[in-house]
Structures are given as C-alpha cells and as structure tokens.
Chains A and B, each alone.
Chain A
C-alpha cells in the first residue's frame, strides 16, 4: 500500500504509571485496537492473516514508565497528523498519551533500526550507607564492568557493559538514590537500566533495594553527525 496515497507517521507517546505493568506485547495490541476504534486508515500487511503496519522503536520493560517512546504507523490514506493525534488520544486507555505526530518520508528508516541510545532515570531506596554520585563515578572510572546473565532466555552469559554506558550521574534524594543514564541501545549491543543499577549496587556492596527500584525512560536517540539527536 505504500505509494502516493498513503503516508507514514512517527508518533511519540507517554506510558504513565497507570499502565507501567502492561507488557510490550500488550502495548502493541493496545495501539492496534485504539487505531481501529479511532477509525484511522491504518495499512495492513497482505496475506492470510493481515495485521496493522505499526512498529515500535524499542520495547519498554514491564514496570517502567516512559515520557517519549516512539511508534511508526503506516496509513493507507493521508490524514493531518494533528487530527490523527487527537483521534488516537481519544481512543487510548488512560496512562497512554500520544504527545507528538509527524509525517516521515515513505523511505525513512524504521524507528527500530535508528535507535542508538536511550536516556533513563532510575531510583532505588538506599538500604545501607552509600554515595550515589561516588558510585556512578567509580563505575565510569572502571575499565571493565561485568554483569551476570539474567537467566531465562538470556543466553549471553556475563558481559562487560562499561562501553555501553555513555553517561551516568547520581544524587541522593532523601532515602533514595536517583540516577540519570544515557545507554547504548539498538543494533544488538545494548544495556538495560536495571543492569546498570545492579552494577552500581555492586560498586557499594549492595546498598540499594533493587527490588523496589523504579525506571523511567526519558528519550530515545539516533546517531547523528555530531553524536546523538532525539529520535522524535
């Protein structure tokens, strides 16, 4: 269906605390259904089991919130992106909100293939004594930072995440440690914020309550000539 009549739209959306336990697969289903409820002219794949042509830039872990995730939607006919945003928002369950919609060229690379880095906030209660910024600096100063395999389907084994941590800072907020991090993601070489927090925890000998940690994704980035630029 790609052609003169259709169009591609890149949406940025928030995933709020109400829906933080909704998995990536469920989020996909939620958007597919919301698009249908909104009566938007979504393009479908051909074949025996057509499904809507929507593609997310990057899955978000269950439990995390996000202020700017990315979704590409392919449409069969043209529509004002502002109109699409309005109609989709009125069909989305509370907790999901589309904050931006802009047309992208038909031949633009997919958001998924473009993602190069993700920016996160992570917060965890401090159980013992510890200095968040000190731990962050220690991690950045280490030539090698090994995290264990996660078990389950993670077949990678222990690996060095140090090259994947692009920025990291920490500060104390009452009884919690708050970190900001910019992490390499996409292209098969990526690190997750909980892995970084685990490494930070080990810098200080288990001083964080990792079970109670919360994660928020601020933004996704693509590579640019000057380094990184926001994907949305």
Chain B
C-alpha cells in the first residue's frame, strides 16, 4: 500500500526530499521480486544522495532481478512533526511503501552523530528499536559502513551488520535471506534465529545477538564472545579485490534538488597508503585498490551520458596519489572538456605537484584550494605521521598563488596526542608565513603591497577512533578543546585569517560513541527520547540533553572519550578484525609517541599491517 502524502508534504521545507521520481531511480513491481530492501540513510536527502555507498548498494541490489532496493532518508523535523500528527509511517521514495513492509531495512553507519536518527527512523516506521523485541513479521534490520567497524554502540538495535565492502558480501546475504524466506521463514514464529545463524556464517557478517559482552568490575570490557557453539569467535572485514567496474554505479539516481555533492563521482581507488595515525578511513579501507585508468575513463564517460551532470569528481582518500595521475587528468580533461563537463578533485595532497594538477583541472574557476597539514609543527606532524614539511606547505601555497588562487583553506586538528601550546603557536606562525609569502609575491608583481590572501583555518577536534594507532588515546576535554580554539582564534583573527572550528561538545559525544560498547545503546535511546535528532547539525545539537541522557543511564561519557586506555585493555570491538593487526597499530602508536614516521606503503617499504595478507 502506498502512503498518501501530497496534502501533508506541501507544508514542509523542501518537499522534494520526500517525493523521489528522479531520473534513474529504479521502480519495480514488488510482486515480481522475491526480496524488498529499503536502504535507509539516517540523515537528510541532500546528505544521503551525496554518498557513494548508497549508490553502490542501490546498484548492487537493483541489478538483481529478484530484489528491489528503494531509498529512505531521515525526515527533517518539520516533516517528522507532520508525519506523527497525521500518523504517516516512514515510507520509501520510489513507491511510497511503508518501511515496515519491506523484508530488509539497511542502515548505513556513516557518522556517530547520526545514530539517534536511526532510532527515530525505526520508531517512525513502527519497527521495534531493539532487535530482541522484533519478530518474524518485522523487517530484518541490517547495517554497514564505517561505523560497523565498532558496531557495539548500536549492536542491540541491529539483527546483523556487514563489516567491510559490500561488493561480494551483499549478494551472499541476499541469497541467505532468499533461501530462508522461500522456506517460509517470514511466516514461522521463531524462525528468525535460523536466519541469523545462517547470516553469521558469511564472512564479514556480524550478528550481535550471537555474541555476549562481559565486563570487568572496573567497567572495562572483559571480552565479547560467542554466546553459543558454532559461532565464529570474531568477524573479519570483507575486502573486495580487485574493484570491478561491473559493481560500480554508472547510472545513479540524479536528484532534482541540489544536494551536498551534486556531481558524478568516479572512485579512483579505495584505501590509502599514507598511514596518518589519526585517520580511521586510512586504516579500515586498506589495502589500496586502484581502478585501471581505462575503467576511470569509461566510468566518467558513461556517468556523464547517463546523468547529464556537468561535473565529474575523482574521489578517493588522496586522489593525487593515483598512479599516473598527470596523464589521467590530461586524458579526462581532453575527454570531458568538449562536453562542457568539469573535473574536480576533492582531496589534494599538500605539495606543488597537486597544485599543478589542480591548475590543470580548475583552469576555469579559481574558487579556492584546500590543504590539510593537520598540525602546526614538524614534531606533531611526525607524531601523527603526516609527512608534510613546512616547505611543502609554503611551496604548495606559492604554487597556488602563482597560479592565481588567492583563497586557501587549511585543515588543522586540535587536541592531538602530545600536543602542546608550541604546536598551536606553530599553526599561527605557519599561516603567518603563508600570508607573508603572498605579500612578497604581490610586491614583486608590482601590485599593491597591502593585499591580503583569503586564508581560512579550519580547526577540527581530534576524535580517537577504533582500529587506528590512536585508539588507546584519550580525547582532550571540551574545556581544553575550547581553550585551544580560543587560543587560535585570538591570534589568527587579528591577522585577518578566518577560523572555523567544530563544536567541541559535538566532538565529545562523537568520541564517546565512537569507542563505546553496548551500554551506549541505552544512552542513544535515552537521548532520542529526550528529543535529540540530527545531532550532526549544529542548530540541532543539544549538549545539555546529551548529558542528561548519559546521566539517565548512569554512563560516564569521559570513561569512553577522555580516558587513556592501557595497552592491555580489551576493546569493545576486539572481536571485529579490521584486517589491520593490533600489533601493527601498537607499533605505530609507539613510533608516534617517539616522533618517528612510517613511510607510505607506495614507497615499497612494507610495515606488515596485515591488510594485504
């Protein structure tokens, strides 16, 4: 039954968020397929439709004749209020089918501060939030994405979670589900158990209800172990290799409304070889798997033809690292230029080479360049293994100014392990040198000497994440983080440098959840009950409410966020094997504290992290 919304929706902001009908959306007759899957993105349409994972899963599922995959996003608060008032259940975009009527609902775990939206969406769908309260009549609730690498804070809400790449595993999960459904699983009380046991045999598929955490008297985790025999002791992350273009979405839905990343996306490679020690993505997507240039060119061409976008973005964690990048860019510019299609690169390395690449690409627009030195001194950059020197930064800035850019944004982090005031002073003096460089160049050009470049410093707060060398580290307190932000603000503003920062309190909640265990689920639900939603949106985030929720549940957020964990402590995610060994992470942590860098894997030196083995 389709949900009727027309009279409700006209009163909300941006109704196109909820009406679907976009070019390339896939509509199938639910009577003609065996499994219906709702892909649920726990944030707004314009965020979700910018996510590559959504497009990949939509493609992988809908290319099967026996499966239909439809989309649903978190309704903004105005829409939620109307849905609750008129008793409209959460519905899919494609056929406006109630989400509770799907066989499977799959949430993506992109960011900890979207987790209350998962609770809210389940509630709006009329689906019991806790897995143990659901029956064979409810949809199977599955999850995936980077958050699945520490699934424990949401474990009790999910029937199963896929750890790692979806390319092969998703088909296996669907096949298991199909087999179970064909044998009448959805009509047999108690049959869910057998489905979950079968799911648990798939590599990468984690069934939380088959594992039980135990805690030490001091509140730390003793272990998370299978609750019955026959269940594997841990779950290994799935790695798809090599990346096959047949699995890539070359005709994704094209939004009517403007979304955050409103362009065609070609994934150059997955994984990153740089080994920055704070970066979870750099660890959990290892090893690097590049797509061949021919695939990249074909994908760009077909995406433009199938979507009509006027921009193709070459995506990866560090795009200028792509082998033969110069040649690739030349070829793509030659290919797309005549079609009036632009090329863009979201992640630029800090060096003159990258600026040269950017110049080749952005020959038309000089809007602004972004560099991420992350830390202000060589000492701290060595700690975090960001192998970028002051000279690299100055050279990259010089190249950017020479090429005509006068706006540069620098990403830094505050609260990194071992950081002292000297490192913050380092940020200020580095930016000062960049500004001085600009002035000297202007003078030598014979232009007005007083010109100032438009420099922006974005200071995010360090959040320690699971499966990284800094997973043992504590996060600075919100007071400390705010003091650091103020230190930078007071010194950068007078120099005409703009400072953006992340809300320290949001980072604190993010940190508590990121390294949390199953006791966090109660906090998520308590926070949701008290009204939190869309916590990643500054205007929606309520620190006081979160603190009340933590108090409601007797959970101390600093136990998870700020406490430095001893090397011997068992992590809540100890049973999740990210394919990067704990030994490697410990070695990296020790080198970090000693200020010793580790070379890029591309250099040929192997640090035996375990991902390739």
Contacts and interface: CB of A to CB of B under 8 A. Distances in A.
A52 B256 CA distance: 17
B19, B305, B339: residue with the most chain A Cβ atoms closer than 10 Å: B19
A26 B310 CA distance: 15
Interface stretch (A88-96, A111-119, A172-180, A181-189): A88-96
B257 A33 contact: no
Interface in B4-22: 6-7, 9-11, 15-16, 19, 21-22
A33 B21 contact: no
B358 to A, nearest CB: 15
B254 interface: yes
B21 A212 contact: no
A33 B16 contact: no
A95 B310 contact: no
A119 to B, nearest CB: 22
A130 B11 CA distance: 25
B15 A62 contact: yes
Interface stretch (A42-50, A199-207, A218-226): A42-50
Contacts of A21: 9-10, 15-16, 19
Contact of B309 (A33, A39, A48, A91): A33
Contacts of A110: none
B365 A95 contact: no
B340 interface: yes
A36 B336 CA distance: 12
Interface in B284-316: 304-310
A160 interface: no
A19 B22 CA distance: 9
A19 B256 contact: yes
A143 to B, nearest CB: 33
B364 interface: yes
Contacts of A33: 23, 254, 307-310
Contact of A95 (B21, B304, B308): B21
Contacts of B310: 32-33, 36
Interface in A29-73: 29-30, 32-37, 39, 44, 48-50, 52, 62-63
Contacts of B256: 19, 22, 26-27, 29-30, 93
Contacts of A25: 258
Contacts of A49: 364-365
Contacts of A63: 10, 15
A18 interface: yes
B364 A93 contact: no
Contacts of A91: 23, 308
Given A37-B308, A93-B23, A48 B364 contact: yes
B365 A37 contact: no
B7 A212 contact: yes
Contacts of A94: 21
Given A33-B254, A48-B364, A94-B21, A23 B308 contact: no
Nearest to A37: B308
Contacts of B6: 17
B306 A37 contact: yes
Size class of the B contact interface (CB-based, 8 Å): 20 to 34
A50 B340 CA distance: 7
B340 A18 contact: no
A211 interface: yes
B308 A34 contact: yes
Nearest to B17: A21
Nearest to A25: B258
Q: Which of A36, A48, A91 has the most CB of B within 10 A?
A: A36
A95 B9 CA distance: 18
Contact of A26 (B10, B11, B257, B339): B257
Interface string B305-344: 1111110000000000000000000000000000110000
Contacts of A95: 21
Nearest to A62: B15
Interface in B229-267: 254, 256-258
B359 to A, nearest CB: 14
A44 B307 contact: no
Nearest to A27: B256
A211 B11 contact: yes
A3 B10 CA distance: 44
Contacts of A62: 10, 15
Contacts of B9: 21
A171 to B, nearest CB: 22
Nearest to B306: A37
Contact of A19 (B7, B21, B304, B309): B21
A103 B310 CA distance: 26
Contacts of B15: 21, 62-63
Contacts of B16: 21-23, 26
Nearest to B342: A49
Contacts of A26: 16, 256-258
Nearest to B339: A36
A7 B445 CA distance: 45
Contacts of A44: 340
B265 to A, nearest CB: 15
A63 B8 CA distance: 11
Considering residues A25, A93, A212, which has the most beta carbons from chain B within 10 angstroms of its beta carbon? A93
Contacts of B23: 30, 33-34, 37, 91-93
A33 B10 CA distance: 26
A35 B309 CA distance: 10
Nearest to B363: A48
A17 B19 CA distance: 11
Nearest to A125: B7
Given A26-B256, A49-B365, A93 B308 contact: no
A121 B340 CA distance: 40
Nearest to A22: B256
A71 to B, nearest CB: 16
A18 B308 contact: no
Contacts of B307: 33, 37
Nearest to A34: B308
Nearest to A50: B340
A29 B364 contact: no
B343 to A, nearest CB: 14
B257 A93 contact: no
Given A18-B21, A21-B10, A23-B257, A48 B365 contact: yes
Nearest to B10: A63
A35 B308 contact: yes
A29 B257 CA distance: 8
Contacts of A50: 340, 364
B307 to A, nearest CB: 7
Given A29-B258, A93-B23, 8 more contacts: A27-B256, A29-B256, A33-B308, A34-B308, A37-B306, A91-B23, A92-B23, A94-B21
Lowest 9 CB-CB distances: which A-B pairs, in order?
Answer: A33-B308, A36-B308, A21-B15, A37-B308, A26-B256, A93-B23, A22-B256, A48-B364, A63-B10
Interface of B: 6-7, 9-11, 15-16, 19, 21-23, 254, 256-258, 304-310, 339-340, 364-365
25 contacts: A17-B6, A19-B21, A21-B16, A22-B19, A23-B16, A23-B257, A26-B257, A29-B256, A30-B256, A32-B308, A33-B308, A33-B310, A36-B304, A36-B339, A37-B305, A37-B307, A39-B305, A48-B364, A49-B364, A92-B23, A93-B22, A94-B21, A95-B21, A211-B11, A212-B7
